[in-house]
Amino acid sequence: MSELKTLGLFLVTALAEIVGCYLPYLWLREGKTVWLLVPGALSLATFAWLLSLHPTAAGRVYAAYGGVYIFVAILWLWAVDGIRPTVWDLVGCGVALTGMAIIMFAPRGS
């Protein structure tokens, strides 16, 4: 799988997880309808399925995915919550994405 496809799959996976967690949050904390649990559960099921599409060892995928999740969560903070990321948020994202790239794209012996 090419690096660009891997990164794209990680981004979609992170979005599915965040939506799957955000919808129950709206119900629990914001008093929205309980029916938000249905698309939330579907989103989390989609998240699990998307993680299974990666062609490498599950542990490596989970470790690297965490870096992309951090990046998408900070984008969510900005786009949905309306809170502009701080310079430290951005530095942290850079560190997390660097770690993801090292884990996923480092040369490996066969």
More confident residue, 99 or 104: 99
pLDDT band at 105 (very low <50, low <70, confident <90, very high): confident
Residue 70: exposure state from Cβ atoms within 10 A (0-12, 13-18, ≥19): buried
User: pLDDT, tens digit, for every residue of 64-95?
Assistant: 889 999 999 999 999 999 999 999 999 999 99
User: pLDDT, tens digit, for every residue of 91-100?
Assistant: 999 999 999 9
Which amino acid is present at 50? L
Residue 6, pLDDT score: 84
**Which tokens is 46 given?**
């989609």
Contacts of 43 (CB under 8 A, 6+ apart): 16, 17, 19, 20, 23
